Amino acid sequence: MNLISIILAAGQGTRMQSSLPKVLHPVGGKPMLQHVIDACRSLDTSNNVIVYGHGGDQVREMIESSGAQQDLSWAQQKEQKGTGHAVQQAKAHIDDDAVVIIAYGDVPLIKADTLARLAGQLNNDSSLIVLTTILDEPEGYGRIIRNQDGRVASIVEEKDATDEQRAIKEVNTGFIAARGKDLKRWLSQISPDNAQAEYYLTDCVSLAVAEGARVDAVICDDPVEVQGVNNRLQQAQLERAYQLLQAEKLMRQGVTIVDPSRCDIRGALMAGKDVLIDVNNVFIGDVRLGENVTIEPGCVIQDCQIGDNVTIKAHSVLESAIIGNNCDVGPFARIRPQTVLKSNAKVGNFVEIKKSTIGEGSKVSHLSYIGDTQMGDDVNIGAGTITCNYDGANKFQTTIGDRVFVGSDTQLVAPVTIEDGATIGAGSTITKDAPENELTLSRSRQITIKGWRRPVKRKQPESNRSEQNQE
Ligand code: UD1
Ligand code: CA
């Protein structure tokens, strides 16, 4: 079957009050339009035609920057004259023998399964399938008019409807499926002869019926799946609905999510067995968690791979890092891109690590900055250690061997190497390489001044006292 989709995305989205075109606003960290494209793509569509208008260049740029393009086509609708007119702009891309699904770019939660059901209903008997849903408050939607046999006879827009028709609760979601040849024939017959002087795509229904063809409906049970976004309130509602769906999927896979309403996944999160995700965590991009991982409250984790038996303690921020098995990170740690923590490593509170490897079993427990560093195994970095990797113009490497002990409050001025087994005395500024297994330190010697006394407050003469007090 040659399946194609036409995705309507020319609407201006005025009610978003935004300079970003509506369909580019995100749900779950991904543009709404991209959700719809992805749903269509998972049906193996040979072509997905996006009808764009308002902010078209921006729409194309953003969608084209996100990957493969060979199955995307673009059709411009310069003036918005209705949904029928929008589909007409894509005519050149509609093959006669194709099964065409028409989707809306601002309905991000549409499921591939539902689109498959829609296309699957097209058969020798039916030549047009409309996706409908039942709403308690159908205001604003096109109503589904059925004949005495219960067959779909037409769709009437709210503005053209009689009071009796307005009472109907089955509404048009806008998604339809038809064969290319039929669709093109109906499109050429649509006229803007209605209350809004628009070309209604929905007129295809009555045109098909007039030809003696059968129109069927697929009813979507979950109105949220087919809800469009017109303003930021609806965007937020769908965001929560989407997050809940993702949380449910993970919980069914065995992940403990302490409060599904306080878990945000803006990308793809994969998790092994016995993972616990506490409240208020945000996962961005591709995040993989191994088995038995605990994410304490308030972390932001972006594009990371985290091994087994890891605890990410509260309020840590991790980006593009690889965390080995049995590691501990945080609380309040910042792990920046290109950081690798080998197994059993520990990074503690108020530690920032950038573009560095921390060896097996090594510990950076408190208040340190480690940047551009290659660190060996079983190293202990004392509190307040700083790798001075930047001279204001260039970045330099620090190399630390195995079993090194760095005393607290030390600066390692890169480029510098601390060899295996070296010990660095606390408070040192290390500018030259420190040799293997020796103690190296740079610090002024401690002296004691015997008999020294602390100054005491001088007694002041009576006359000066008031002036001094004004200080
Ligand atoms: C449309 C349907 C209505 C249905 C409702 C569901 C028609 C005539 N009406 O109404 O039956 O209940 O959707 O939400 O089809 N668009 C364009 N170009 C245009 C007009 C619209 O690309 O000229 C796009 C919009 O960007 C949007 C979609 O088509 O993605 C729907 O447009 P909208 O104006 O929201 O349609 P409604 O009038 O609400
Ligand atoms: Ca609408």
Q: At what angle do helices 203-210 and 180-187 cross, to 10 degrees?
A: 100
**Parallel, antiparallel, or unpaired for β 328-329 and 30-31?**
unpaired
Distance between Cα 79 and ligand 1 center (Å): 14
Closest residue to atom 25 of ligand 1, CA basis: 11
Confidence at residue 464, expressed as pLDDT on a 0 to 100 scale: 62
Superfamily designation of domain 232-440: Hexapeptide repeat proteins (2.160.10.10)
Q: Which ligand is nearest to the Cα of residue 90, counting in written order?
A: 1
CA 46 to chain centre: 27
Confidence at residue 468, expressed as pLDDT on a 0 to 100 scale: 52
Closest residue to atom 21 of ligand 1, CA basis: 83
Closest residue to atom 22 of ligand 1, CA basis: 10
Distance between Cα 236 and ligand 1 center (Å): 21
In a mutational test of the pocket of ligand 1, which residue from 35, 54, 83 has the highest number of ligand atoms less than 8 Å from its CB?
A: 83
Distance between Cα 13 and ligand 2 center (Å): 10
Closest residue to atom 8 of ligand 1, CA basis: 200
Give the Cα separation of 224 and 331 in Å (integer): 38
Write down the domain spans for the chain: 3-226, 232-440
CB 401 within 8 A of CB 418: yes
Give the Cα separation of 102 and 88 in Å (integer): 12
CB 260 within 8 A of CB 251: yes
Distance between Cα 390 and ligand 1 center (Å): 56
104 Cα nearest atom in ligand 1: 30
201 Cα nearest atom in ligand 1: 15
Superfamily designation of domain 3-226: Spore Coat Polysaccharide Biosynthesis Protein SpsA; Chain A (3.90.550.10)
- pLDDT tens string, the chain, 471 residues long: the values are 899 999 999 988 899 999 999 999 999 999 999 999 999 999 999 999 999 997 889 999 999 998 778 899 999 999 999 999 999 999 999 999 999 999 999 999 999 999 999 999 998 889 999 999 999 999 999 999 999 999 999 999 999 999 999 999 999 999 999 999 999 999 999 999 999 999 999 999 999 999 999 999 999 999 999 999 999 999 999 999 999 999 999 999 999 999 999 999 999 999 999 999 999 999 999 999 999 999 999 999 999 999 999 999 999 999 999 999 999 999 999 999 999 999 999 999 999 999 999 999 999 999 999 999 999 999 999 999 999 999 999 999 999 999 999 999 999 999 999 999 999 999 999 999 999 999 999 999 999 999 999 999 999 887 665 555 554
Bridge partners of 364, per DSSP, are: 347, 381
Distance between Cα 142 and ligand 2 center (Å): 10
Closest residue to atom 17 of ligand 1, CA basis: 10
Distance between Cα 141 and ligand 2 center (Å): 7
Give the Cα separation of 311 and 295 in Å (integer): 6
Kindly list the catalytic residues. 366
| Token reading at 106 | 């601002």
Please report, for residues 458, 460, 462, 465, the alpha-carbon distance to residue 470 in angstroms, rounded to integers and kept in the order given. 17, 14, 15, 9
Distance between Cα 230 and ligand 2 center (Å): 7
107 Cα nearest atom in ligand 1: 30
Q: Which ligand is nearest to the Cα of residue 55, counting in written order?
A: 1
53 Cα nearest atom in ligand 1: 22
Give the Cα separation of 98 and 109 in Å (integer): 25
Say which amino acid occupies 225.
E
77 Cα nearest atom in ligand 1: 18
Give the Cα separation of 11 and 16 in Å (integer): 11
Q: Which ligand is nearest to the Cα of residue 200, counting in written order?
A: 1
Find all residues with CB under 8 Å of 85, minimum gap 6, and list them: 77, 198, 199
First to last CA, the chain: 90
Say which amino acid occupies 194.
N
12 Cα nearest atom in ligand 1: 26
In the block, tokens 């038809």 appear at 178
Ligand 2 ion: Cβ-proximal residues, 5 Å cutoff = 228
Find all residues with CB under 8 Å of 430, minimum gap 6, and list them: 410, 411, 412, 413, 416, 418, 424, 440, 442
Q: Which ligand is nearest to the Cα of residue 142, counting in written order?
A: 1
**Parallel, antiparallel, or unpaired for β 294-295 and 311-312?**
parallel
Confidence at residue 100, expressed as pLDDT on a 0 to 100 scale: 98
Residue ranges lining ligand 1, Cβ < 6 Å: 8-11, 51, 77, 80-83, 85-86, 104-106, 141-142, 155, 157, 171-174, 200-202, 228
Confidence at residue 69, expressed as pLDDT on a 0 to 100 scale: 84
Closest residue to atom 39 of ligand 1, CA basis: 141
CB 382 within 8 A of CB 406: yes
